[in-house]
A = this chain, B = another copy of it.
């Protein structure tokens, strides 16, 4: 059975060493065995689990959601409805963000197109920022709290 140092696990999964320790600290990864000199030792299962976590993070799942997904993955007899719900929820989050960003893109494009080259006093960009009424888009609508936040 193979066993990996934390550095090797990091390279194997493309996750940084401090991040691995962080995941252990918050309980996403189990506490691994240790060598006599207290160094962490990982096995194949850890590689799989960390890859799972990494992939879920890339898809934008919050750590708490990943915790739930891991619990499901750990216990194959539990019903997977929860997993479907989490995926659907995450999909909705992503779709909301896309819409929102598209509105911002539209607005930024209008600003960037102006591309004035004189004094700041006449700058369209600055003017557009100062005068919201110049905006066509409703990017000031309530939106989900945090829609502007993390992915």
Interface size on A, residues (CB 8 A): 62
Question: CB-CB < 8 A to A101: which residues of B?
Answer: 60, 94, 97-98, 101, 151
Question: CB-CB < 8 A to A91: which residues of B?
Answer: 105, 108-109, 111-112
Q: Which of the segments A4-12, A20-28, A34-42, A74-82 contacts the partner chain? A: A74-82
Closest 10 CB pairs of A and B: A76-B121, A80-B123, A91-B108, A72-B120, A83-B125, A80-B120, A78-B120, A87-B125, A148-B151, A87-B111
Which A residues fall within an 8 A CB radius of B? Answer: 14, 48, 51-52, 55-60, 69, 72-73, 75-81, 83-84, 86-88, 90-91, 94-95, 97-98, 101-102, 104-105, 107-109, 111-112, 114-123, 125-126, 129-130, 132, 135, 139-140, 148-151
